[in-house]
Structure 1
């Protein structure tokens, strides 16, 4: 009996498929059943070769060898996962394997994960594609019942290859050129550099901003206020101007020129795509883009509660219409509105959400037919799930209907516009607004002049948050919903951007990089054009060869500009401290383990701040720091100054006696035991009576 080899992106997905498909025999590297052998990658098992893998002379970072533009880049296995790659190769060569099924994430990067593997192992049997938008049992069963020929996704793979080569050519050449010319680690790329520029551009606007005082004039009538309409709302720059205008207004009564009431109906917003979800989660809960993606990925893979997260569409395909009742039923215990909407026949009151033309690879983010096990969701997962459910339920909710009344009042040639909104039907929008009395005005009525002058200040632009930065990236087509979070994280990791609370700011290094790097790479327009080209390749509208030729030409131009640039560079990481071994200056670097000093000449490095250990001070019982001295490392208490010799490995392994163990436990328990408060003592005495 022949079987098909199923390749998933992660072991957890392979485990889920195995359960659904009855593939019960488990080994270290795969699951096996009567029809399928299911194996997995760990994300990517292969990557594009580095220059030194192609030519030995490219191992040295030298300005003279740039630009590096090989005819063929090629793939290489990632060292930590070669065992899994060999296991897949062995499975593929089994005589009972008749073909393969790509079951990696249904997107551009997922396609690359599987195709790289199949290309590396030289797989020459038929290949099919599993393309699903949720991980529920039903979706998996339907997906395997309707597998598609992998050839249908050749353009998607071509787009993934083109993106990888473009990032390799631009990012690697520009980074090497900047690093070698200015003798510092300077990272640049076709997407991350214009993204960095957005952050700096906002900072420049804030730095240039000077607050200006201006005055507005308000008319009060029947408890309502209206502001004087001016060609420029900020044109009254002095109190004298405002007083003079009020004097002019009070010379005659006002007259109601028009009263109009219009009914307005507002439908609920469409379901989320990934970018909007990340923006809302950032604004509402302060979650980073990467954190939100991780949470929604967990809701998709582990909990099977939402559809495929890395989507750029807010619409649903028409074939999803038949599943909405089941999805609504799955929410009955989670939100009482679901039961109400089911009682109304699960009727969608926003038919515009069904649009096959606006659904690309995947439809909008919505709940699945599987009820979420709320008790197993983390607090953050629950927050993100609620956001997705709220938008989904909006599809079944009545519109938010209001009556908007506008009254135009004139004092001579000057106009005041009153506006009042009354809620007729709250619909999807929950509101706590108190009902207001409608305008009791009629056209031609006379209005007394009750004016008030307000002093105001112009406000500075707000710093970018991850949410607002994602909006800018989307507007200029920088990256994709799947990659934008990682781009922001890379800017932070390479010390070009810092997070200050929920706001983003450029570092001195990031600011300087923008002055050194090519202007065309800083501008979002060029990168946006490249992203549109990649989309065109994915849809078969552009040849990848033509795109790569454009990238190669741009790479040569960018490297030439850097080589001939006269811009000076100042290394802000350089300190006044000297290396104890060669007397060269030390640089400050951020690492996962804290800040360190590294020598600019030799291999010397040390911590900027001492490492805090779990070893307790014998005097004050605080955790002690590990300090490097001439005779080796020792413990020092930063609170009381006590020092203590560190035991060597042999001494550390020695077991303490039972008596010593009991003494230490008693001492620790006494130290940790909190003193009895007066209130607790009084309660204890009362209970004893």
Structure 2
């Protein structure tokens, strides 16, 4: 009998199939003597939409809210239905005796596979592959220690509860706001309090009033000394004190010496990596996660990305030398460490009690091939590798000297005695001052201004989300992107800002949904479900009750709302006004009537058709006689199809034709080569 293995993505399925010797490739799966390896494409199923439960729920109306299905049901996603059908046929095969869930080892990965198996009514034994890296070694060890799927039933229940909660709160509140105020207003269990964090910081900034103050410092050849306590003075007091101190003499009255040890930082978890990558390279959280996923799935050089732990399990101690050896050709600092099989110095990193589903991000035993990495992938890999190398290096040690001076000044000096994991720092030596030493210096008057709080960058927001319990490492990047794409939040330089639409949304919903307290409580309860400490039905009952209250408040609200994107243009289908909507493909004009599907481009579509005079791209327009091209620079027009066969070739078309010619096996000049030659002559 064969075992059906369900991976989350085709690339992962390909890797698993190679290790499991399932080498016969078909359109939807790989097959071998013992295993059939197939894949999902992310989610193949989703929760049913309101109209799937009741026909009257299809119309957006306040009268039907809140929408409360008796039982949450799932349905196939249309675009991936062929893959689901193929898995269903595999599951029914008589030579398939069991299944292995090999999707991502986390809450959402569990949901992907369990929904498939539940939808197919799969009644054969099911086991779970739970691994933290995609190397061949990890896969073999994982299949040697498969666990019954029932061990993860609580995790599946938590995933179902999360999905249902997002449907109930997000869909109902969004529909209520959208119908009430006739605009697309997206609210959610996690995204709305996340938006609230950005707004709260902006409010602090708006209320801030800068104040001028003055400080005094003593400039000496040993460094600058500050007044004890670094008091903020007004100008008159500062000038008076400066005059008094300028003629004074300065003597060391006390010396304090302190040795400071700093251990190497622990490996990254996902959130801290996203934070640091945003600060260092201005990467968005989503971009960092995508780069990390590539390093994990395609190159197999890092461990599982969506981790919330910085610690390692004790069983990894035996693998650290092998991992170090794998990176020794890539990282010069690792070569001598690997050569002498250096042990891990920072042994506190091994702590089973502080590891949840997955341990911290570290390199795998797979040797990296840097020539394959993109520039951005290399940056992320180097960050992870830097933390890993630090585990083999000693502490950073510095000696701090603090000198109490007469007249109330304090002077500090630092001496680096051991660079340790900060190997790029040179050790420094200072000559300590003794009690009674006389110092010469001038007193400086420094004018300063109190600083306003800074707007939240994406790095700061990730830290706040983690601190407040909003989302998980796997979902925070998507939450931020959803807020930006829905027009509620925007990126302004290196920081985030709430749009006017977002500011209004926060005023329209119940304050409980704009602050993180309620959502954080729900996230904690989801974790309790995963641990078997809370029943899913009790959590869902609580969500239903909260949803009902939130919808009632929207219905009762008398708040005003202004749609900043509404235009004076009228929909030709229903007569409602058109609203501007930004998309990846430009700005659309969308009907403001939620039950009307009319839309069109606001600006003409730029095509690849070139102007015969200036050779710039022409736009596509529609007139009484049909579609036509127009050059916005020369005002030349051409009817679509009128110049068929005379279109100027672009570089991509040339390259594609040349590639076909080079692959042609016919002797002499083929028909395709002749066509290319003619096209090139025509181009010239």
Match of 1:462 among 445, 454, 459: 454
TM-score (norm 2): 0.92
Residue 158 of structure 1: CA displacement? 0.8
TM-score (norm 1): 0.91
Q: Which moves more between the two structures, 161-170 or 50-59?
A: 50-59
* CA deviations over 1:367-402 (Å, ceiling 9, x no partner): 000101111111111111111111100000121111
Structure 1 counterpart of 2:655: none
Structure 2 counterpart of 1:105: 104
Residue 281 of structure 1: CA displacement? 1.1
Secondary structure of the structure 1 residue equivalent to 2:169: helix
Contact 1:9–1:40 (CA<8 Å) still a contact in 2?
A: yes
Contact 2:587–2:603 (CA<8 Å) still a contact in 1?
A: yes
Structure 2 counterpart of 1:628: 622
Residue 205 of structure 1: CA displacement? 2.3
Residue 345 of structure 1: CA displacement? 2.6
**Cα RMSD (Å):** 2.3
Match of 1:435 among 428, 447, 453: 428
Contact 2:216–2:238 (CA<8 Å) still a contact in 1?
A: yes
Secondary structure of the structure 2 residue equivalent to 1:396: coil
Contact 2:419–2:425 (CA<8 Å) still a contact in 1?
A: no
What are the residue-to-residue correspondences of 1:539-558 with 2, within 5 Å? Answer: 539-558=531-550
Secondary structure of the structure 1 residue equivalent to 2:562: coil
Secondary structure of the structure 2 residue equivalent to 1:336: coil
Structure 2 counterpart of 1:684: none
Contact 2:417–2:427 (CA<8 Å) still a contact in 1?
A: no
Contact 1:420–1:438 (CA<8 Å) still a contact in 2?
A: no
Match of 2:264 among 264, 268, 283: 268
Structure 2 counterpart of 1:10: 9
Structure 2 counterpart of 1:314: 310
Q: Which moves more between the two structures, 398-407 or 429-438?
A: 429-438
Instruction: Please say if 1:474 is aligned against 2:469.
Output: no
* CA deviations over 1:216-264 (Å, ceiling 9, x no partner): 1001223410222347x4x323x22210122343575444332111221
Structure 2 counterpart of 1:652: 644
Structure 1: distance between partners of 2:538 and 2:644:
64
Match of 1:571 among 556, 560, 563: 563
Instruction: Please say if 1:236 is aligned against 2:233.
Output: yes
Match of 1:424 among 417, 423, 428: 417
Structure 1: distance between partners of 2:597 and 2:339:
72
Structure 2: distance between partners of 1:216 and 1:433:
32
Residue 668 of structure 1: CA displacement? 5.8
Secondary structure of the structure 2 residue equivalent to 1:305: coil
Contact 2:44–2:76 (CA<8 Å) still a contact in 1?
A: yes
5+ residue gaps, structure 2: 650-672
Structure 2: distance between partners of 1:579 and 1:68:
29
Instruction: Please say if 1:453 is aligned against 2:445.
Output: yes
Residue 461 of structure 1: CA displacement? 2.1
Decide whether aligned partners of structure 1 residues 390 and 449 sit closer, same or farther in structure 2, where only a CA change above 3 A counts: closer
Structure 1: distance between partners of 2:351 and 2:69:
43
Contact 1:422–1:436 (CA<8 Å) still a contact in 2?
A: yes
Match of 1:396 among 392, 395, 400: 392
Structure 2: distance between partners of 1:592 and 1:445:
68
Structure 2 counterpart of 1:181: 180
Contact 1:348–1:395 (CA<8 Å) still a contact in 2?
A: yes
Match of 2:605 among 611, 628, 636: 611
Structure 1: distance between partners of 2:466 and 2:324:
30
Contact 2:8–2:109 (CA<8 Å) still a contact in 1?
A: yes
Residue 405 of structure 1: CA displacement? 0.7
Structure 1 counterpart of 2:193: 194
Decide whether aligned partners of structure 1 residues 276 and 83 sit closer, same or farther in structure 2, where only a CA change above 3 A counts: same
Residue 579 of structure 1: CA displacement? 5.2
Structure 1 counterpart of 2:483: 491
Decide whether aligned partners of structure 1 residues 620 and 394 sit closer, same or farther in structure 2, where only a CA change above 3 A counts: same
Structure 1 counterpart of 2:129: 130
Instruction: Please say if 1:46 is aligned against 2:52.
Output: no
Match of 2:356 among 360, 368, 387: 360
Decide whether aligned partners of structure 1 residues 663 and 32 sit closer, same or farther in structure 2, where only a CA change above 3 A counts: closer
* CA deviations over 1:159-213 (Å, ceiling 9, x no partner): 1011011111110111011111111110000100011111122222223333322
Decide whether aligned partners of structure 1 residues 585 and 57 sit closer, same or farther in structure 2, where only a CA change above 3 A counts: closer
Structure 2: distance between partners of 1:135 and 1:656:
47
Structure 2 counterpart of 1:151: 150
Structure 2: distance between partners of 1:103 and 1:220:
65
Decide whether aligned partners of structure 1 residues 115 and 636 sit closer, same or farther in structure 2, where only a CA change above 3 A counts: same
What are the residue-to-residue correspondences of 1:518-537 with 2, within 5 Å? Answer: 518-537=510-529
Contact 1:54–1:73 (CA<8 Å) still a contact in 2?
A: no
5+ residue gaps, structure 1: 670-689
Contact 1:348–1:396 (CA<8 Å) still a contact in 2?
A: yes
What are the residue-to-residue correspondences of 1:292-331 with 2, within 5 Å? Answer: 292-331=288-327
Contact 1:135–1:307 (CA<8 Å) still a contact in 2?
A: yes
Structure 2: distance between partners of 1:154 and 1:294:
28
Secondary structure of the structure 1 residue equivalent to 2:168: helix
Decide whether aligned partners of structure 1 residues 179 and 247 sit closer, same or farther in structure 2, where only a CA change above 3 A counts: same
Structure 1: distance between partners of 2:503 and 2:548:
24
Residue 614 of structure 1: CA displacement? 1.5
Decide whether aligned partners of structure 1 residues 603 and 24 sit closer, same or farther in structure 2, where only a CA change above 3 A counts: closer
* CA deviations over 1:317-340 (Å, ceiling 9, x no partner): 001111111100100110111121
Structure 1 counterpart of 2:65: 66
Structure 1: distance between partners of 2:512 and 2:288:
32
Decide whether aligned partners of structure 1 residues 621 and 379 sit closer, same or farther in structure 2, where only a CA change above 3 A counts: same
Structure 2 counterpart of 1:118: 117
* CA deviations over 1:453-498 (Å, ceiling 9, x no partner): 0111222222222111111110011000000001111011111111
Structure 2 counterpart of 1:592: 584
